[in-house]
Amino acid sequence: MIETSIVIPTYRRPDCLVRAIRSCLAQRGVEAGYEIVVVDNNPDGSVADTVAAIAAGSPVPIRYVAEPRPGISHARNTAIAAARGRYLAFLDDDQEAEPGWLAAHLSALRRYDADVVFGPFHPSFEISDAAVPPYARGKYTRDESMPTGSPMPARSPLLGSPGISNTLIARERCLADAEPFRPALGFAGGEDTLLFRQLLRRGCKMVWCAEARVRETIPAERLTTSYLLRRAFNNGQISASTWGTLDPPARGRMLLVMAAGVVQAALFALPALVLRLGNHPRWLPFAAQVAGGLGKIFCHPKTLLPIYRAPPARPNEDRPGTPAVTPGGTAG
């Protein structure tokens, strides 16, 4: 019997995907059966043979599902529809789970009668640690540093909600809608934040699990200054705009976050400029605060910054996106 489905949306990261699947196969202490569902968001079906080769010798069921429609929302919705488990564990294709990851998630969900369980992830950089900006190290880490069972979100929901990466969700109560992840946000991002805010409204219980750890591979291109500032702006947009897209909208909270963005941008603009002119390494965190504040201000749905962009053209190919900014780590 399949109790849990580990779902891994993927897009053109075959080497990372192989490591992610192998980490899932190495899980220990899981009493009930589980499966792995890989959803390929590349219309070329580029990892079909790779997944089939791993599945051929696997003691754990591994299924490949194609979802050619672009956008991470489509990939995740297709994964949910294809999954057979009562619980769904979400892992990005650039993440590797520790051997006790799934057992820890399931234990926390049962022990605390939770609907959603979040776990920590830490970065593994493809460049030397000395070359990684301290700001980036913090931004690519999710670790609330609090005991298992602590309520989530740990901070005010006004400041944002945790992403879907490294999360276990009870399907029946949380994912019963036909499209839990809104397709319109498949390129702008925030589809997971919107879902969690909607679930909090319904009274779903969310907790932290310190033992459900994963490691995420961060390539060099996601460490550039332009990328990090673009990411900060996008996150600011999401933190504000998702309040306005709730059903029904929470426009008062959206306006409050927008007002906070005005204060944030004004407060950090001068220090960021002075530090930048002085070439001080602390300028980047201040500049990111400005970018995030501006994102909160310019958060109208028509101004949302796309977080995926078209890759270099290939013969006979005229679509797709690779990540320009990937808060959740998976492209669509």
Which ranges of the chain have pLDDT less than 70? 156-160, 307-332
Query: How much is the pTM?
Result: 0.89
Question: What's 270's DSSP letter?
Answer: H
pLDDT digits over 294-303, tens only? 999 999 877 8
Instruction: Give counts: helices (H), strands (E), the chain.
Output: 10, 12
pLDDT for res 160: 64
* Domain edges within the chain: 2-221, 224-299
Cα angle for residues 292, 141, 282 (degrees, 5° grid): 55
Q: What homologous superfamily is domain 2-221 in, according to CATH?
A: Spore Coat Polysaccharide Biosynthesis Protein SpsA; Chain A (3.90.550.10)
pLDDT for res 308: 54
pLDDT digits over 59-93, tens only? 999 999 999 999 999 999 999 999 999 999 999 99
pLDDT for res 278: 94
Kindly report the number of other CB atoms within 10 A of residue 311's CB atom: 14
Longest dimension (CA), the chain: 62
pLDDT for res 307: 66
State the burial class of residue 148 (Cβ atoms within 10 Å of its Cβ: 0-12, 13-18, 19+). Answer: middle
